[in-house]
Amino acid sequence: MSKTITLEVFRYQPDQSDEPRFQSYTVPYREDWVVLDALNYIKDQLDGTLSYRWSCRMGVCGSCGMMVNGTPKLTCAAFLKDYYPKPVKVEPLTNFPVLRDLVVNIDDFMHKMKEVKTWLIPKKELPMAGSGEYLQKPEELAQYKQFSMCINCMLCYAACPVYGMEPEFIGPAAIALAQRYNLDSRDGAKDERAEVIFSGEGIWECTFVGECSVVCPKKVDPAGAIQQAKVQATKEWWLGWIMPKAK
């Protein structure tokens, strides 16, 4: 007989019921399958009403993040062989409102990314023609490259106990990306971002639990980025207090 594995999937269909529930599905077990493969099998072969997000299946788009046996994971990188023969419980990311089944509302996350201006704002606008390149040395790229690897999967937000209790907290990914641009030698908007990330809802809310870095699939280390920003903020505060002109 072919091997099978059970997926216990969170279901929430607000057009039918206000109460969420779990539904069990038995799917084929294959060693090269990931949880996303099993969900796709359910969607295609067993229950077309199941809703979830996914796109690339290559750990690049960040859209297939879910809770797998209680841990935030990219379901395209969570192999069934790591759970077999026990059941696999699949739930939507914690700390986010659930829209339907495994789909969460990411509006708050997107708003915070916009707040900290997670894009390059050049120190000086250069002409499109002629000498319009923003040149950078390899060592300058190395300053921020690690933080640029974020794929906006939001696993760090699901793992962050501070965000779970204080939704106003800017959060790990947004702060890490703000730090990425603050460290970029071509960027000139550090002071604009400081108003947000150095505020009461920013870096000082972080208690350095570190789970955000543990679950990050790209080893971005948002906890490290937050601590860097704390050092930077403290240094600037002391410098501004002792030598105002130097600041």
pLDDT tens digits for 135-175?
899 999 999 999 999 999 999 999 999 999 999 999 999 99
Same domain, 89 and 207: no
Say if residues 90 and 68 touch (Cβ distance below 8 Å). yes
Same domain, 147 and 225: yes
Same domain, 99 and 113: no
Say how many C-beta atoms besides its own lie within 10 A of residue 12's C-beta.
19
Share of the chain above pLDDT 70, in %: 96
Indicate if the alpha-carbon torsion angle 208, 210, 216, 220 is positive or negative. positive
Same domain, 15 and 87: yes
Domains of the chain: total:
2
pLDDT tens digits for 25-80?
999 999 999 999 999 999 999 999 999 999 999 999 999 999 999 999 999 999 99
Same domain, 100 and 111: no
In a domain, 30, yes or no: yes
Same domain, 237 and 159: yes
CATH at 121:
1.10.1060.10
Return the percent helix, strand and coil in the chain, to nearest 5: 40, 15, 45
The set of residues, in sequence order, having a beta carbon less than 8 Å from that of 246 and lying 6+ positions away, is 239
Please give the average per-residue pLDDT across 101-113, as a whole number: 98
| Owning domain of residue 96 | 4-104
Out of 104, 119, 144, a domain closes at 104
Same domain, 120 and 54: no
In a domain, 247, yes or no: no
Out of 57, 74, 104, a domain closes at 104
Out of 83, 104, 125, a domain closes at 104
CATH at 83:
3.10.20.30
Same domain, 91 and 127: no
